[in-house]
Amino acid sequence: MSPTVERAGVSDAQYFRNFTRVDSVEKTAQGLSAELHGERLRVDVVRADVVRFAISRGGVFDEYPSHAVCVDPLAAAVPFTVEETTGDDGRVVRLRTSGLVVTVGMAPFRLDVHRPDGSPVAVGADGAYAILNDAFVIRRRCRGADAIYGLGEKTGPLNRRGRDYSLWNVDVLDPRASGEFAAARAQTDPRADPTSTEFDPYYVSIPFFYHLDAASGTMAGSFVDNPYRARYDFSGPEQYSIRFDGGQYVEYVFAGPRMPDILAAYTWLTGRIAIPPVWSLGYQQCRWFAYRQADVEALAHRHRQEQIPCDGLWLDIEHMDGYRVFTWDPQRFPDPAAMLSRLADAGYRLVTIVDPGIKHDPGYRVFDEAVEADLLCRTEGGGVFVGQVWPGDTAFPDFTLPETRTWWGQLTAEQVRSGVSGIWNDMNEPATGAIDPQAMLFGRGRHSHARFHNQYALLMAMATVEGMRTAAPDRRPFVLSRAGSPGIQRYAANWMGDNLSRWDHLAMSMPMAAGLGLSGQAFVGADVGGFMGDTNPELFLRWMQYGVLTPFCRNHSAIQHVDQYAWSFGPVMANLVREAVRLRYRLIPYLYAAFVEASRTGAPVQRPLVFDHQDDPLARDVDDEYLFGPDLLVAPVLAAGMTDRRVYLPAGTWVDWYDGTVLSGPGFVTAATPMDRIPLYARGGAVIPMWPHAPEHADGYQPRSTELHVVVPAGDGTHTSVLVEDDGTTIAAEGGAVRRTVFTLTRTGRVVTVHARTSGDGYPEFVREAFVLVIRGAHPHEVRVDGVDHRVTGARVRFTNHGGDFDATFTV
């Protein structure tokens, strides 16, 4: 058996030493403290439905195990009681809140959590906690029919049951980084191939997951606040195990029982996305290519000429001077300031790539400053760690140091002041090329590589956002990151790394995005069209039709492959791509409201059906369709030549977006997939806000009217939808400069009412004068708005509204 397998925690499991007894337990202000095997166990009540477990090492607790948690979890005083009993299970101590019951078994030691009704949350298996040197393992019971979700960016099915996973950020397509994990698998195992849709691990590691109990339909959650390398094994028939190679056991257990509530609690702990600038929700054009300044401006002009909406143009590594970060190639970009100014005048935002690697080059300002201030990662011998990436000899900033983050922020601020609008953090796993990263130490040599490897991208994003806020304190920052760990959502969006121009990679991105969304990262997307390899017209079109209905929409491809611009495959395909992009732009009011909701509750923008339909057994394993926001169901085309596909509709009314057919769920339908569209359905009861037409860019766009697509449900009920209007660029909305309208649609018999209630102080750029109701799923003749009857013409009713409340009623 190879050392890599042994390191993965397979062959050495027999050597772990189990904790078998508790010597004493006492009540504390936050919960319980117990003595066991020379170590201490703490049980802290965080909320009525959340408890934290921690076990010391060497009798000492690590009070700050990572940068994941951004609140004081023990700030609230939560009522709880403690009782001790002796019964068939021996002597036990129980801690009770209104939402959970923690049971500490004394001999043998066990640590279980149930809800007050007795339903299981987290029940220990034999050898529930064990250690071996710096590593520890926890084991819990899990039925074969149960489902597991989460863990961030993972390949394979959304339901993680039946597989094992590693948590270690990896530059997947670099065999020097991924080779260790590939070698640990049999050659016939698809997980041995980094280009497969099963390879593991990937770029983002999030040790947070949900456990769905198949018998009851309830969910529980687990977040281990530990940044070290880990292995989660859900392949056992009756239990799962979690192993970390270092650090301390600190786990937050969420009693649920509903998935949205668990995610809200997790993102309360680790933070939620900031409301993004609206331009970042538009179409983004990117390519790794040796552009010249004139090429970039020509690309901008071509999008306007082709009438393809676009907000963002991106520059990959070739724009730099010898791959030196924070520089421009003076030959290719002789006057970047003028270029940036002209692009801004044309409605474009420019995003530049910034890798962490600094060219080891005395005389290069960035390197010299870092050396002088001792801001670079060191080795055990005290020297500067040197890797091999794009610049050749490469040093790496030690982002664990606050002074490094401040310095990096200053460099970023200079970039932003020059006119750059967004920063793209790549290679931040960190990727070190041919050099093993383990020799890279942190904290000026005090901390191992393992402690901060998975946190490196988070710390880099922190520094980047700090700089952007320094340069433009009133403007919303935008950062895109390849790697990440818990909390990355506070600072950056994530794209799903270097994918391939293949149909299976298109399909893979759906459960992968859903897994990230369920793990707190709502701002996600895949490289549309595929990054590596040559795409083809049909694959590109179908990926664009899908990609425009994802949170982050960027067309990105690699150098030396075929062009995949929106117009690259001729006028027929360009027309179809244009219509897809225009649909995204018209839906931006709906999409923006979903992002605002994510900033408030953590709810994903691209979400699996199980998030909203947890009680539906058929929805639990659906991987090939998803909800875009709360009320649009998207079913992409997944293979060449597909003329129809099966779509599962969960409970409720669903209206075909294109032909208006009213359908009822739960159940399956066969949907046609002509080349001009993919299946799209609107939930009955929803009010979908849309712009009346697609502007050429979203940045700064303020419409005179907004359409409200009212989707009539087939049966009685009430549904709530939201429209959020603000300037889209600044943080003024945080201070109340916003119009927030909540629509409550109620159907009672044949009568449908829409009540709109508005809050917020408004904002200077607001110019809307009217709403246009567009009725879907029914054909009323009249709509009464605030007591005035309006004739319905072509399913549409226009009425004056300058940002106030209204009430609309019609009969179907």
Q: How many CB atoms lie within 10 A of CB 704?
A: 9
CB of 664 within 8 A of CB of 653?
Answer: yes
List Cβ neighbours of 537 (8 Å cut-off, separation of 6 or more): 569, 570, 573
Angle among Cα 342, 343, 346 to the nearest 5 degrees reads 90
What CA–CA distance (Å, rounded) separates 330 from 342? 18
Q: How many CA atoms lie within 13 A of 111 on its CB side?
A: 27
What CA–CA distance (Å, rounded) separates 784 from 561? 57
Active-site residue, from 498, 612, 726, 727: 498
What CA–CA distance (Å, rounded) separates 613 from 650? 7
CB of 213 within 8 A of CB of 230?
Answer: no
Token pair of 64 as six digits: 């700050």
E-only strand ranges, 203-248: 208-212, 219-224, 230-233, 239-244
What CA–CA distance (Å, rounded) separates 356 from 325? 8
Active-site residue, from 112, 329, 398, 426: 426
Whose tokens are 């409301």? That residue is: 275
What CA–CA distance (Å, rounded) separates 775 from 794? 9
Whose tokens are 């992002």? That residue is: 595
What CA–CA distance (Å, rounded) separates 700 from 349? 12
Instruction: Give yes or no: 426 in active site.
Output: yes
Instruction: Give yes or no: 527 in active site.
Output: no
CB of 376 within 8 A of CB of 408?
Answer: no
The DSSP output letter for 12 is: T
Count of positions (residues) in the chain: 812
Token pair of 359 as six digits: 């060219």
Give the CA radius of gyration of the chain: 27
Helices (H) and strands (E) in the chain, counts: 14, 47
* H or E element at residue 798: strand 796-800
Instruction: Give yes or no: 49 in active site.
Output: no
What CA–CA distance (Å, rounded) separates 616 from 473? 46
Q: Where are the alpha helices (DSSP H) in 656-773?
A: none
What CA–CA distance (Å, rounded) separates 458 from 479? 11
List Cβ neighbours of 572 (8 Å cut-off, separation of 6 or more): none
How far is the first Cα of the chain from the last one, in angstroms, to the nearest whole number? Answer: 70
What CA–CA distance (Å, rounded) separates 283 from 348? 11
CB of 548 within 8 A of CB of 580?
Answer: yes
* H or E element at residue 237: none
List Cβ neighbours of 365 (8 Å cut-off, separation of 6 or more): none
E-only strand ranges, 371-523: 387-389, 392-395, 422-425, 479-481, 493-495
Active-site residue, from 164, 311, 316, 429: 429
CB of 686 within 8 A of CB of 754?
Answer: no
Phi–psi pair at 513, nearest 5 degrees: -65, -40
Q: How many CB atoms lie within 10 A of CB 575?
A: 13
Identity of residue 321: D
Identity of residue 48: A
Q: How many CB atoms lie within 10 A of CB 225?
A: 25
* CA 438 vs CA 360, 399, 432, 734: distances in Å: 19, 16, 10, 42
Strand partners, 481: 425, 494
* H or E element at residue 455: none
Residues designated catalytic:
426, 429, 498
